[in-house]
Amino acid sequence: MHSNYQHSGFSSQPPLRFLAGYRLLRILGQGGMSEVYLGYDSQSARHVAIKLLAEDLAGDRTQLGRFAREAHLVTTLMHRNIVQGLNAGADEETGRHFLVMEYIDGPSAQDCVEQIGRMKVKDVVHIGLAVAQALEYLHCRNYIHRDIKPSNILLAPDGHARLTDLGLVKWADRAAEQLTATNDGFGTSYYMPLEQALNAHFVDARSDIFALGATLYHLLTGRVPFPGEDHQDILRMKRAGYYTPVSLWNPRVPTALEAILNRMLAVDPRKRYRSATDVLVALERTQLAHGYPSYRNQRLALRGPKQPEQFMLMDKTRPDLRAGSSVQRKNCVEELWYLRFRDHAGQTVFRKGTTEQVLRSLRKGRFRGMVFAARRRLKNFRPLAEYPEFHAYYAALPPSKPIPVGLPAPKAGWCRRLLGRRS
């Protein structure tokens, strides 16, 4: 992990040198909630990043709970584009709560923007693909990140951007909801969607997609899409839904990429992409992420053959070989739906499939009439539209015909002329 905290006077106590068997070399950064050190693990002979909860928060049950949940997440989730946790606990000597993570010896996306103003289109698309892959992995497990922003994206020397800071992740269980019992929005004002700013509970996968869109906009232009002097100013701009088109700040942004960002930044969640997988597919189709990103260390490129970016698209359907077989079976059962509907001949048909498979069939119009679903085989069938997993699909259905996608003025005029000739 690379620190993105601002340096400030965090504590008047003498700096720590050792903690839980790790040697602390220097402080990387600090903030109001925690401080991050560059450490050395003598057992594995490698550098690590060690995050310490602030001493004055040791008695705060809410902050302790959040820190413990973040530690649990980063040490159990395993994905190429998420910073991996290695160890966590409380130091016996000092009582400090700590989280040990892999050390990413590279800048954050925020650092790059501050240094060069805006990034190359190819590099931004690489970052978008990497973060979308991480979000696909999280969303498949019912986690919402809620704090996607440039400073939480680390650019590793191997060329793979990594998502960090899972402290604000929304969990599916009720115990986790107690940690966000307030109606205030969590996250960062410039990047969070309107629904998250109004209430931290009003978020789903599409909320992270908005934040990723705002992040990519910032990386492409060096500016945030919704600037403002304070949180309320930013909120008013988001309600209006107006922002400067990305191509006006950066003419090198292709029309296809601009259209993707416009959809990600829609104020109405129903008009955004429904899933991170859809974002992945859209970014892949632009074919803008050719070759390696410029922030990749070229010496690492010689250590092995290049792996295709597309293989991560199917990660959520691959079994985790590090998990036990019983866990794998449990995950498979939880993802399956049992469907009941009538075919073209009016006969009752039973089928089963994952959430993504059902959504794909819905989009392709393979069902006619009412579709009923159950989580358990042949028990408790309910209309498919009543399940939260499919609310986004049914809410986004237009009353009559699909909403046309707006094109830039020159292309729109060309389309009108072409249609005029045909008519």
CA angle at residue 44 from 38 to 46, to 5 degrees? 35
Phi, psi angles (nearest 5°) of residue 179? -80, -15
Q: Which of 243, 247, 202 is nearest to 220 (CA)?
A: 247
Report long-range pairs for 26-34 (Cβ below 8 Å, ≥24 apart): 28/2, 28/3, 29/3, 29/4, 29/5, 30/3, 30/5, 30/6, 31/5, 31/6, 33/57, 33/63, 33/167, 34/5, 34/67
Encoding tokens for residue 200?
Answer: 């931290």
Q: Are 88 and 257 in contact (CB under 8 A)?
A: no
Q: Which amino acid is at 195?
A: E
Number of neighbouring beta carbons within 10 Å of residue 23: 17
Q: What gap in Å lies between CA 419 and CA 397, rounded to an integer?
A: 26
d(CA 320, CA 316): 9
Q: Which of 41, 60, 147, 165 is catalytic?
A: 147
Q: Is 165 a catalytic residue?
A: no
> Cα Rg for the chain, rounded, in angstroms?
23
Q: Are 63 and 51 in contact (CB under 8 A)?
A: no
Q: Which residues contact 53 (CB under 8 A, 6 or more apart)?
A: 33, 34, 63, 64, 67, 96, 97, 98
Written as one letter, the residue type at 373 is A
Residues carrying an active site annotation: 147
